């Protein structure tokens, strides 16, 4: 690998410098476009996620960055260097595979040292780097174990150590947590994030799990059908999705039909049946499509108003369904005038789990929580 940077660990560069530049990349298989004209910049030191349902092109894109696949058209550069014609084994990237791809005929140490062997560092330096990498993933002392003697979580750590020990410019992670059980997965999310902060390497994660992407990333690209729908911070993606598809993929969202009354550069005024006339911020990517739009509100941004409590903005309706989920209760509330009932999630500390079906209730909301999307 040319120019493997020896970056001191104390430095924490989350700069604005581009690490990966993907320009107008298309990958077609016959008439089918796995990736369609994707343009994207991933910054140095960033934890970046490619999020989308299966078949959206996220893995194709990752494999093209790694060099296992080549764009039909367009260009990819890593660290300012064009990757065209550079085979996977000479790219400054390393990958953590979905299946971990631990070499079964080698033990943990030999697996981690696999890529170092070719660099001819000498036995002492090689051992030091292997130990260091094993320590980074909390596997110290397991070096002599065979790959077959490891648990799923340990195998994943070996795969991580094996890639990190190469000190790549970019670490690519292909759904690394999907094979782990829920508890371990949540623990590894925190650890991966911590590890990325510590080593300061650019991480590119492919996942179909929106919570995983939200929890770990600095920025997320949401992809559908080979196209990049939105690139933004987790908060922005969650709170200000550019369209219904993105909103829907990132968790529950209530959609309300709206008529545009007034549009100017920064805001929109719309008329809705349930929520009345609403003024909202106009999203950056909003392009008007006729006279109507869609207004969205997340279920947790609606709150039940108990007894005589009031809110500045409220809607009234009737509970038609109630679903209990332990720490939260999911209420389906019919609002007169709305074609679809609203989903409301309420924490169970005030007794939302005891509201009988059929009760008339009032829901309070913050107009900030209403987001306008083009139809």
Partner 1 sequence: MTAAAEGQPVFGMTRARRNALLQSESVQGFALISPTFLYALILLVLPILVVFAHSFWTQDYLTTDHTFTLENYRIALTEPIYRDLLWRSLYISLTVSFFTVILAYPIAYFISFHGGRHKSLWLFLITIPFWTSYLLRVMSWKVILGYNGVLNSGLMGLGIIDEPSTALLYNSSAVIITLTHAWAAFAILPIFVSLEKVDRTLVEAATDLGDGPLRSFLRVTLPLSAPGVLSAALIVMIPTVGDYVTPKLVGGKDGVMIANAIQAQFGKASNWPLGAALSVTTMLVVSLMAGATVLIIRALQRLAR
Please give the Cα distance from 178 to 184 (Å, whole number).
10
Nearer to partner 1, 164 or 319 (CB): 164
Residue 35 pairs in a beta bridge with 27
Region 86-145 residues binding partner 1, contact defined as CB under 8 A? 87-90, 93-95, 97, 99, 101, 103-106, 110, 114-115, 118-119
HEC string for 239-306: HCCCCHHHHHHCCCCEEEEEEEEEECCCEEEEEECCCEEEEEECCCCCCCECCEEEEEECHHHCEEEC
Least CB distance to partner 1 at residue 257 (A): 47
DSSP symbol at 89: G
Least CB distance to partner 1 at residue 374 (A): 41
Nearer to partner 1, 118 or 235 (CB): 118
Binding piece for partner 1, criterion CB under 8 A, among 85-93, 233-241, 291-299, 324-332: 85-93
User: Residue 72: helix, strand or coil by DSSP?
Assistant: coil
Strands 219-224 and 47-51, by their bridges, are parallel
Please give the Cα distance from 220 to 49 (Å, whole number).
5
**Binding map of partner 1 across residues 155-184, x = CB under 8 A, - = no contact:** -------xx--x------------------
Nearer to partner 1, 116 or 331 (CB): 116
H/E element, 63: helix 58-66
Least CB distance to partner 1 at residue 145 (A): 15
Nearer to partner 1, 34 or 102 (CB): 102
Please give the Cα distance from 156 to 132 (Å, whole number).
17
Angstrom distances, CA of residue 374 to CA of 165, 290, 363, 371: 46, 9, 25, 10
* Burial of 178 from C-beta contacts in 10 A (0-12 / 13-18 / 19+): middle
Nearer to partner 1, 61 or 66 (CB): 66
Nearer to partner 1, 166 or 361 (CB): 166
Least CB distance to partner 1 at residue 201 (A): 15
Nearer to partner 1, 119 or 316 (CB): 119
Binding piece for partner 1, criterion CB under 8 A, among 81-89, 175-183, 220-228, 260-268: 81-89
Residues binding partner 1: what is the number (CB under 8 A)?
Answer: 25
Binding-site ranges for partner 1 (CB under 8 A) = 1, 66, 68, 87-90, 93-95, 97, 99, 101, 103-106, 110, 114-115, 118-119, 162-163, 166
């Amino acid at each position: 690998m040319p120019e493997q940077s020896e970056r001191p660990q104390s430095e924490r560069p989350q700069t604005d410098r581009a690490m990966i530049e993907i320009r107008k990349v298309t990958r077609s298989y016959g008439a089918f476009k796995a990736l369609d004209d994707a343009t994207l910049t991933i910054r140095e030191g960033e934890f970046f996620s490619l999020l989308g349902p299966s078949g959206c092109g996220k893995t194709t894109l990752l494999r093209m960055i790694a060099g296992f696949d080549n764009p039909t058209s367009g260009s990819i550069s890593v660290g300012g260097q064009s990757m065209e014609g550079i085979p996977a084994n000479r790219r400054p990237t390393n990958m953590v595979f979905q299946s971990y791809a631990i070499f079964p005929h080698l033990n943990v140490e030999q697996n981690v040292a696999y890529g170092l062997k070719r660099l001819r560092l000498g036995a002492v330096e090689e051992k030091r780097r292997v130990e260091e990498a094993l320590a980074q993933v909390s596997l110290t002392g397991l070096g002599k174990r065979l790959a077959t003697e490891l648990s799923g979580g340990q195998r994943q750590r070996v795969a991580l150590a094996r890639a990190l020990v190469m000190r790549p410019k970019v670490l690519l992670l292909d759904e690394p947590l999907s094979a782990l059980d829920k508890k371990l997965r949540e623990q590894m999310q925190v650890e991966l994030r911590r590890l990325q902060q510590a080593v300061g390497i650019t991480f590119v994660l492919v996942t179909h799990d929106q919570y995983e992407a939200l929890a770990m990333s600095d920025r997320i690209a949401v992809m559908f059908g080979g196209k990049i729908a939105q690139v933004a911070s987790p908060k922005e993606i969650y709170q200000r999705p550019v369209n219904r598809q993105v909103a829907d993929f990132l968790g529950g969202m209530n959609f309300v039909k709206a008529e545009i009354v007034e549009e100017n550069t920064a805001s929109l005024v719309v008329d809705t049946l349930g929520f009345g006339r609403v003024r909202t911020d106009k999203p950056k990517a909003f392009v008007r499509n006729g006279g109507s739009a869609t207004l969205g509100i997340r279920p947790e941004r609606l709150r039940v108003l108990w007894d005589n409590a009031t809110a500045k903005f409220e809607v009234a309706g009737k509970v038609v369904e109630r679903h209990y989920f332990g720490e939260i209760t999911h209420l389906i509330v019919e609002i007169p005038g709305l074609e679809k009932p609203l989903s409301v999630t309420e924490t169970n500390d005030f007794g939302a789990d005891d509201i009988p079906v059929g009760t008339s209730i009032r829901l309070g909301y913050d107009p900030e929580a209403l987001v306008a999307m083009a139809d």
